């Protein structure tokens, strides 16, 4: 069973330092049993970056209409009338990106961006800088929290998550100058 101390020490051995800005992509299942569960992992991450560091995650939204409108599908009138609006203060996180982000959202001092499909969460001194503003344009491109993460020299941390889960890759796709690029 992993403890907060053991996880913090392992993160430091990986090169996580006090003052770092981390965007975490995690699979709690891959990490294995943790004493205290996801809250302990969040506490270990915060401990590893210290009081001057910031931990960030891709929260998204567990009730986003995105999945319902793939491949040109449209929400029917009843669904559009009754779909609850996104509220960053109360919305759950998208489980497909891992459960850890829900615990980041609930951490004391957490800030969450107001984008209804691509909300980001951050805890630490850069939290507000990273999460505000988050315009409705390209959610992960220019002017987004991910761009600010990149420009501030953030580090992507994969804890049992695959390489293709790195959100900053979407930023690179968005800003790449590629002729005839299509989304």
- The answer to whether residue 85 scores a pLDDT higher than 90 is no
- Summarize pLDDT for 2-17 with one digit per residue, the tens: 999 999 999 999 999 9
Are 69 and 80 a contacting pair, CB within 8 Å?
no
Determine the pLDDT at residue 76. Answer: 87
- The answer to whether residue 52 scores a pLDDT higher than 80 is yes
- Summarize pLDDT for 94-147 with one digit per residue, the tens: 887 888 999 999 999 999 999 988 999 999 999 999 999 999 887 999 999 999
Interatomic CA distance for residues 104 and 59, integer angstroms: 9
Among 10, 76, 95, 77, smallest CA distance to 45 is for 10
Over range 18-34, report the average pLDDT.
96
Interatomic CA distance for residues 26 and 22, integer angstroms: 12
- Beta-bridge mates of residue 55: 22, 123
Bigger pLDDT: 92 or 131? Answer: 131
Q: Which residues have a Cβ under 8 Å from the Cβ of 86 and sit 6 or more positions away?
A: 61, 63, 64, 114, 116, 119
Of the candidate ranges 9-13, 25-29, 75-79, the one whose mean pLDDT is the lowest: 75-79
Q: Which helix (H) or strand (E) segment is 148 a member of?
A: helix 145-151
Q: Which residues have a Cβ under 8 Å from the Cβ of 44 and sit 6 or more positions away?
A: 4, 5, 7, 8, 11
Query: Beta strands 111-112 and 120-123: pairing type?
Result: antiparallel
Q: What is the mean pLDDT of the chain?
A: 92
Interatomic CA distance for residues 183 and 175, integer angstroms: 12
Local confidence band at 183 (pLDDT 50, 70, 90 cut-offs): low
Bigger pLDDT: 51 or 81? Answer: 51
Determine the pLDDT at residue 80. Answer: 83
Determine the pLDDT at residue 60. Answer: 87
Over range 38-56, report the average pLDDT.
98
Question: What is the maximum span of the chain, computed from C-alpha positions, in angstroms?
Answer: 54
Q: Which residues have a Cβ under 8 Å from the Cβ of 24 and sit 6 or more positions away?
A: 45, 55, 56, 57, 100, 104, 157, 159
Give residue limits of the domains in the chain.
4-175
């Amino acid at each position: 069973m992993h403890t907060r101390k053991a996880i913090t020490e392992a993160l430091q051995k990986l090169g996580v330092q006090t003052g770092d800005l981390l965007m975490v992509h995690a699979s709690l299942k891959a990490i294995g049993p943790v004493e205290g569960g996801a809250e302990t992992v969040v506490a270990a991450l915060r401990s590893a970056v210290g009081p001057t560091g910031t931990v960030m995650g891709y929260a998204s939204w567990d009730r986003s209409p995105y999945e319902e409108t793939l491949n040109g599908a449209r929400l029917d009138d009843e669904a559009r009338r009754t779909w609850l609006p996104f509220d960053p203060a109360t919305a759950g996180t998208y489980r497909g990106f891992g459960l850890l982000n829900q615990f980041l959202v609930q951490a004391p001092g957490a800030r969450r961006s107001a984008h209804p499909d691509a909300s980001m969460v951050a805890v630490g001194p850069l939290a507000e800088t990273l999460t505000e503003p988050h315009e409705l344009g390209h959610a992960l491109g220019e002017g987004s929290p991910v761009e600010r993460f990149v420009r501030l020299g953030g580090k992507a941390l994969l804890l049992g998550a695959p390489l293709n889960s790195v959100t900053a890759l979407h930023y690179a796709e968005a800003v790449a100058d590629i002729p005839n690029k299509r989304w």
